[in-house]
Amino acid sequence: MKAGFKMSDPKFKNIHKKENEKLYKKVKHISSFGSITMYLFLSILFCVMAVILAGFILEYIIETKFTEAYTDLKYVSELYELGNTDNTVMDYLRSDGRDFIVTDSSGKVVYQIGENTISDISGDIIFSNSTETYTVYADSESGYLYPNNGHLGVDFMRLRDSLEMDVENIELPLWLSIDINGGDRKLVGKTLFSFSKRDAILAIELTIGIGVITLIMFLIFFIYLIRSIVNYKRVVKLFYSDPVTSGHNWVWYVRNGNERLRKASSKASAFAVVDVVFKNYRNYCLCHSISEGEAFLSKIYTILSAEIKRGEICAHSTTAVFALLLRYDSEEQLRSRLNDILQKLRNMDKEHNHVFQMGVNLLEPVTDENGKPLKRKKISIENEYNNAAAASATLESSDACEIRFFDSNLLEEQRWSDSVHERQMSALDNEEFVVYYQPKYDPKTSILRGAEALVRWDSPDLGFVSPGRFIPIFEKNGFITRLDHYMIAHVARDQKSWLDAGYKCVPVSVNVSRAHFSENDLAEQIRDIVDKAECPHDLIEIELTESAFFDDKHAMIETIGRLKSYGFAVSMDDFGAGYSSLNSLKDMSLDVLKLDADFFRGENADERGQIVISEAIRLAKNLNMRIVAEGVEEKEQVDFLADQDCDMIQGYYFAKPMPKSEYLSRIAVSEA
C-alpha cells in the first residue's frame, strides 16, 4: 500500500484526520436502532411497572381482607379452646353459623361445625409486610381464592361473572388453618372475603386506568420513535448531501469508501481512487454566472454517477472536483474506461471546450506470503485520495484533457517535499542558505554593471541543493517570504561590508516572491531590513516576477511607488514569459526590464525573436528603463544586444552564479 500524500504540515494533518475519523464514527453509529431500543425498553418498563402497581393494589386489598378474616377466625379458635370447658361457648359457636373443622395431629377430623367444602388445593402464603406464614385451602365450591406459590391467587374470570350478577356484595370464601391446643390440633375455618360491588368495580377501574396510562405512554414513546427516525433520516441526508449537485458529498465518500475498501468481500478486488478536476470552472462562471456554473457541476455529477457500477461510489469533493472509487480488472481496461468518461464529459457541452483532468491512485489487493488476499483493515481512503490528487496536481500547467496515475516518482517527490519542509526552519536558523551572485555586464565594454543574488542550500543532511528543488516547495508552503527577508538582509550586509572595505559596489537585485504582496507594509519591511545593515538603498534592487503583476494590481502599484520613494530600484523579471507584459509596463513605474531567456532559444530565435527583442529594447528606452538580457550564452547574442543598445547582459557567456568570494574578485578585477 502506498503512503499517503500529505498536502500540508504533518502534525496538523494528523490532528485534522483524527477529528474527521471521530466525526465519521459518530455519524456512522447514529441510527434509528437506538430510538427503537429505547422505545422497547421504556415500553417494557411501563408494562412491568403497571403490572407491579396493579399487583400491589390487589395484594393490598387482599391482605387487608385476609387480616380481617384471620382475626375473626383467631377469635373463633380461642372460643373453641374455651368451649372445651364451657358448653355455653360451644352452643354459641354452633349458632354462629361459621363452618370449621378441627383435626388432630394425624389430620383426622375430630370436630366439625357446618359443611366441609375444603378442596385439595392448599399451600402456605406469606405477605410482603409480614414474616408469618399462613396455611390456606381453596373452597371446593367457589374457588375464587387459592394459594399460588406463596401468594393468594384470584380467579378473575369467576370474579367478572360475579360482578355481572345483581348483588351488592361479593363474598370470596377461603379456608384458613390456625394451630390450637399448643399445636396438637388445627382449626380450619371458612372465612368470607367480603367486597362491596362498588369497591370491586373501583379496583377494576383503577387497574384499567393504569392500563390506559400505560397505553398513552406507549403512544407517546411511539410518536417520539417515529419523529426520531424521521429526524435521523433528515440529518443523515443533510450531512451526506452536497448542496450544489444534490448528490453525495465528501463526508459520504470517506465513510462509504473506507467501508467498501475494508470489507472482507472486497479484499480480492482491485480499486482505483480517482480525482476528477473540472479545470475551467472559474472561467465558465465568469462567462455565465455562479448559478449556471453550479448547474453545470450538477450535470457533471449526473454523468459521473451514470458511469458508477455496483460496489463503486461517486461524490462531489470540492468546488470543481469530484471523487470516484472504481473497480478494475487491468490498468489498460481502467484507462480505456476513464478515457470514455472524459470523452462524455467533454461532449456534454458542444459550445465550450472544457478541460477535465484525472488523477488516479491504484489499490491492488494486499496478499500474504502465500498469495492469499488480506483484508484492508487500516486503509484510509483520505490518504489514497490525496495520492490521486497529487497526480492530478501535476497536470495543472496543462490545458489538455489528461489522466495521470500516481507512481513511485510522485511518491519520491512528496518524500522530498516533506524532508525539505521538516528542515527549512533549522536551515534558516543555522544559515545553511548561501547567497550566490551572478554578475551583469555591459555588452559593449564588458564592464561589471550589476549582479543578481541567487540562493543555494548547503545542507549537512541533504547536501548542496539547487534552488529548483526547494524554491517551488517554499512557494507552496509560504516559507518563501522568510527566505526573501533572509536574502535581502544578507545581500545588504555583504554590500555594506564591501563598501567599508573600499570596494566599488554595483547594484544587486534580490528576488521578492509574489506571496509578499499581500502585506501592506512590504516596502517598509524591505526598507527596515536594509537600514539595519546600514546599506545604501541604491545598491539594492528589488526584482519582481511578471506573474506577481497579475495578483493585486493596486497593491503592486502602491508598493512599487513606496519602494522607489525610499530610493530602491525596481525591476521586472521574466519579461515576455506572460501574456500581459505591455499592459504591466503601462501601469507600473519600473526602473529595469529583464528580457526572458526564452527570447534567445527556439527555432525562430535568430529571426522573429531578434525583431521582438529589438522592439522591446526600444520600448523600454522610450519609457526610461534599463534593459537586462538574461540567459545569454553565445557571442553572437552579445554582439546583437550591444548593437541594440542593451544595458546589461546576465548569462553563462560572462559568468555563472558564484559564491560571494568569487564575486568579490570580479568586483576587484572590474575596478582594476
For 274-312, the pLDDT digits (tens) are 999 999 898 888 888 899 999 999 999 999 999 999 999
**Within 10 A of 377 (CB to CB), how many other CB atoms are there?**
10
- Identical fold for domains 10-30+242-406 and 416-671, yes or no, is no
Q: Which run of H or E residues covers position 383?
A: helix 381-393
pLDDT at residue 385, as a whole number? 94
Mean pLDDT of 305-332: 94
Cell 454523468 belongs to residue: 303
Question: Which of the four pLDDT bands, split at 50, 70 and 90, describes residue 36?
Answer: low
The lowest-confidence range among 60-64, 101-105, 106-110, 293-297 is 60-64
pLDDT at residue 659, as a whole number? 95
Residue-averaged pLDDT of the chain:
84
416-671: CATH superfamily: EAL domain (3.20.20.450)
The lowest-confidence range among 136-145, 300-309, 424-433, 435-444 is 136-145
**Is the pLDDT assigned to residue 56 strictly greater than 80?**
no
Question: Which of the four pLDDT bands, split at 50, 70 and 90, describes residue 147?
Answer: confident
Mean pLDDT of 565-587: 76
Cβ-based neighbours of 335, under 8 Å, separated by 6 or more: 403
Question: Shortest CA distance to 365 belongs to which of 275, 254, 262?
Answer: 262
Tell me if residue 310 falls in helix, strand or coil. coil
**Within 10 A of 376 (CB to CB), how many other CB atoms are there?**
23
Mean pLDDT of 443-468: 93
**Set of cell numbers at residue 292:** 449556471
Q: Answer yes or no: are the C-beta atoms of 105 and 121 closer than 8 Å.
A: no
Q: Which comes out higher in pLDDT, residue 195 or 80?
A: 80
Question: Which of the four pLDDT bands, split at 50, 70 and 90, describes residue 4?
Answer: very low
Task: Indicate the DSSP class of residue 364.
Answer: P
pLDDT at residue 254, as a whole number? 92
Cβ-based neighbours of 611, under 8 Å, separated by 6 or more: none
**Most confident residue range from 240-244, 542-546, 648-652:** 648-652
Question: Which of the four pLDDT bands, split at 50, 70 and 90, describes residue 12?
Answer: very low
Q: Which run of H or E residues covers position 232?
A: helix 197-240
Question: Cα-flanking dihedrals φ and ψ of residue 545, to 5°?
Answer: -80, 150
Question: Which of the four pLDDT bands, split at 50, 70 and 90, describes residue 22?
Answer: low
pLDDT at residue 414, as a whole number? 80
**Most confident residue range from 131-145, 273-287, 429-443:** 429-443
Strand order in the sheet with 118-125: 109-113, 100-103, 185-196, 169-180, 134-139, 118-125
Question: Which of the four pLDDT bands, split at 50, 70 and 90, describes residue 78?
Answer: confident
pLDDT 10s digits, 262-272: 999 999 999 99
Q: Answer yes or no: are the C-beta atoms of 405 and 389 closer than 8 Å.
A: no
In degrees to the nearest 10, what's the CA dihedral of 397, 316, 291, 341?
60
**Set of cell numbers at residue 291:** 448559478
Question: Shortest CA distance to 261 belongs to which of 372, 362, 377?
Answer: 377
Q: Answer yes or no: are the C-beta atoms of 544 and 573 closer than 8 Å.
A: yes
**Set of cell numbers at residue 385:** 485520495
Tell me the C-alpha distance between 295 and 284, whole Å: 11
pLDDT at residue 516, as a whole number? 78
Q: Which comes out higher in pLDDT, residue 566 or 88?
A: 566
Mean pLDDT of 351-363: 91
Tell me the C-alpha distance between 647 and 444, whole Å: 9
Q: Answer yes or no: are the C-beta atoms of 379 and 353 closer than 8 Å.
A: no
Dihedral class, residue 183 (left if φ above 0, else alpha if ψ from -120 to 50, else beta): left
**Is the pLDDT assigned to residue 339 strictly greater than 60?**
yes
pLDDT at residue 2, as a whole number? 39
**Is the pLDDT assigned to residue 644 strictly greater than 80?**
yes
pLDDT 10s digits, 527-540: 999 999 999 999 99
Tell me the C-alpha distance between 94 and 83, whole Å: 11
Question: Which of the four pLDDT bands, split at 50, 70 and 90, describes residue 598?
Answer: confident
**Is the pLDDT assigned to residue 550 strictly greater than 80?**
no
pLDDT at residue 208, as a whole number? 76
- Give the CA radius of gyration of the chain: 49
Question: Which of the four pLDDT bands, split at 50, 70 and 90, describes residue 14?
Answer: very low
Q: Answer yes or no: are the C-beta atoms of 452 and 437 closer than 8 Å.
A: yes
Question: Shortest CA distance to 380 belongs to which of 4, 7, 15, 11?
Answer: 4
In this structure, is the dihedral angle defined by the CA atoms of residues 83, 84, 87 and 92, taken in order, positive or negative? positive
Question: Which of the four pLDDT bands, split at 50, 70 and 90, describes residue 165?
Answer: low
3-state secondary structure 510-563: EECCHHHHHCCCHHHHHHHHHHHCCCCHHHEEEEEEHHHHHCCHHHHHHHHHHH
Q: In the Cβ-directed half-sphere of 556, how many Cα atoms lie within 13 Å?
A: 24
pLDDT at residue 234, as a whole number? 75
Question: Which of the four pLDDT bands, split at 50, 70 and 90, describes residue 6?
Answer: very low
The lowest-confidence range among 32-41, 175-184, 452-461, 498-507 is 32-41
Contacts 24+ apart (CB under 8 A), 233-236: 235/30, 236/27, 236/30
Domain ranges of the chain: 10-30+242-406, 45-210, 416-671
**Is the pLDDT assigned to residue 9 strictly greater than 80?**
no
Tell me the C-alpha distance between 203 and 197, whole Å: 10
Q: Answer yes or no: are the C-beta atoms of 633 and 641 closer than 8 Å.
A: no
pLDDT at residue 228, as a whole number? 75
**Is the pLDDT assigned to residue 577 strictly greater than 70?**
no
**Is the pLDDT assigned to residue 76 strictly greater than 60?**
yes
Q: Classify strands 185-196 and 134-139 as parallel, antiparallel or unpaired.
A: unpaired
Mean pLDDT of 585-608: 75
pLDDT at residue 10, as a whole number? 41
In this structure, is the dihedral angle defined by the CA atoms of residues 235, 238, 241 and 246, taken in order, positive or negative? positive
- Measuring CA to CA, how many Å separate 204 from each of 10, 167, 495? 72, 17, 107
Tell me the C-alpha distance between 80 and 527, whole Å: 125
Question: Which of the four pLDDT bands, split at 50, 70 and 90, describes residue 580?
Answer: very low
The lowest-confidence range among 8-12, 489-493, 515-519 is 8-12
Mean pLDDT of 643-659: 93
pLDDT at residue 610, as a whole number? 84
Question: Which of the four pLDDT bands, split at 50, 70 and 90, describes residue 203?
Answer: low
Q: Which comes out higher in pLDDT, residue 662 or 153?
A: 662
Task: Indicate the DSSP class of residue 241.
Answer: B
The CATH fold of domain 10-30+242-406: Alpha-Beta Plaits (3.30.70)
Q: Classify strands 448-459 and 463-465 as parallel, antiparallel or unpaired.
A: antiparallel
Q: Answer yes or no: are the C-beta atoms of 560 and 522 closer than 8 Å.
A: no
pLDDT at residue 540, as a whole number? 96
Question: Shortest CA distance to 325 belongs to which of 336, 317, 314, 341?
Answer: 314
Mean pLDDT of 419-434: 94
